[in-house]
Chains A and B, each alone.
Chain A
Amino acid sequence: MVDNKVSSDLLRGHTDTMILKLLMNGDKYGYEISKLIQANSKSEYELKESTMFSSLKRLENDGNVTSYWGDETQGGRRRYYRITEKGKGTYFDNKKNWEHAKRILDQLL
């Protein structure tokens, strides 16, 4: 777990991009996203629900993702998110910006 506030703030700033990256490999529902982020970070980062859902709703409002109800027969319906063409563009832009910032930070720090 990331206990340090600064690094967790830094990571949270990239929530949109993390989610977009996961959706590049197929549609996912909220709990799946949250579990994948925990697993892919080897449990070093846990996304808070409030952060994740705010990010999903923002991505949807901006047209980066769309969502639809799944057709689960038992239990409640899951809401799936799908990345749009615009979302793919946003992902690549964000990724490029991060590589750029990382290069500069590596030189400065």
Chain B
Amino acid sequence: MSETQGVLNPTSTSQHSTPLVALVGAPNSGKTTLYNWLTGAHAKAVNYPGSTVDYLKGELAPHWKQEKVFILDTPGTYSLNAKTEDEVVTQKILIETGSDLAPHHVVVVMDGTQLSRHLLLAEQVREMKIPMVIAITMADLLRAQQIELNLKPLEEYFQCPIILIDGRLGGGISDLIRIFPQKTSAKRAVEYVPWTAEQQEEKMRWAEGLCQEVFTKSHQKIPAIWEKTMKWDKLLLHPVAGIFSFLLIMTVLFSSIYYLASPIMDQVDALFGFLSTQILKLGPDNLFVDFLANGIVPSFGAVLVFVPQIFILFVGMVFLESSGYLARAGTLIDKPFSKLGLSGRSFVPFLSGYACAVPALMAARNISSSRERWIARLIIPLLSCSARLPVYGILLAFLFSDKPGWIPGLVLAGIYIGSMVVSALAAGILNKFIPRDSKSFFLMELPLYRRPRLKVVLTQSWLKTKSFITRAGPVIFILTIVLWVGTTFPHYQAPEFEKIQTSYLGQVGQKIEPVFKPMGLDWRGGIGLIAAFAAREVFVSTLAVVYNVTEDTTDGGKLLTAMKTAHFPDGTPIFTVASSIGLILFFMIALQCLSTVGMMIKESNSVKIAILQLVAFNVIAYLLSVGVVQGLRALGVS
């Protein structure tokens, strides 16, 4: 994991003298909101050494005017006896006291409306004798129902300060900060002993009893907080209206990703295109200038062009998550998913997969069952990610250039449904072959519906986007440069078309032309397919170069004309109905994204499986594409 450490640097030397405070709490406990109040927008995602699970680390925001303190936001956990990969991280942070990441102080975050359950985690921290504070969140909700808390029994038992936090207005935060240690203290070795079943039940009864004392008589008022949530659930989990709302919410989410992101992506594209042309003007025949203009600049462009839509996807997901809906969506989809060996818990990775496989693979870590995690990881690359969209766009424009616009639109919808069917089939097959493990469970807690705080949503989405850039960025960047080398040398001084034709990649393309021929393509189409391994949408810009589209390569009109006139030496056209359909099918299945492969290696910790997946998907895609092209030809469709 040294490479991620290099990028994210979780162990800076200054840390030794700066106190480290860890926020620990159950999922939906209001931990993230509290973290945002403490650190402002300045935080970075960090890896625990040896793990790929992110947690956030940041400094106390300067406006609190306090001594420097580092704050860790650990992954949500119900107990220190971890059951999922991200819970293990929280467990390690608290248990492995030798590491730099062991906190000097712990803030146990408890939801005031869920006190009796959340007391158990606090009890586990107390048993470990780590200096602690208890922060009780959702104070605003309790106050709205005039629920009074008697904190004395809690203070007496835990022998630590108890602070009420109002996540909406920030009440209680300054009191909490005042308790933070000013200096580092020696970290004591602590031992964690998991409770036995009997102890666990005994602790539950103790917590319920303690809760009675805390709430005195107002305990009965808590269900009133749930009234609105129950009403919403009547609609959102209704057998018919619930499914309808689900489809509506997902449609809105995805159309906003495409519609909001595409103009920004076009801007990014145009900006980098402009930069390239300007740099090229500085020295038209200079190799270094060419490297800058056609190697470095497009590499940055290739990474950054994804950022708008990934950010919008994260905004949508964080919004749905903090509103409480994401847990419902997972519950709703659980039954259909269970037929494929998955569960509603895999819903988030799948949702992300329709934007990009890289964050989807990252999200798959939270799936508790390793069997399910494997099925998810293996089929995520089949989901129709947005990098395929420009490819489908140009091919559909070619196929339906003289038809009204709704026809390619309908076919595109068909491609999406087709991709769902293909991934469902693949999951069904894997479900039969991967042996069952016993640890799978669904057991989902459905939180209260709450209005998300915009600032928290934006900060969280930005942090997730940054994490994506630092992970996937270097891979895409390097591959784009490799591609530049492959298409530029050895005859870098030749005119554009000749340069590519005689380049290393061009030579390879021509040598393996027989491979592409059954798909109906010549060597140039083949180069397009090879180049698409850097990122699928590179296929379009490469076609523009290899089919000798002069001037503005981003102009789809010119590329279409070039595709229509492109032909084999014997005069037969290359792009036909058959070969275009073959290409669409190929792109639906092929794993043409080396960032995904790189991510798969990291996530699965197995080069073998990642390579196997790469080969298998591409061979299947190739065979299917060849079969369809040849089949169509046999039926008389050229």
Do they bind each other?
Answer: no
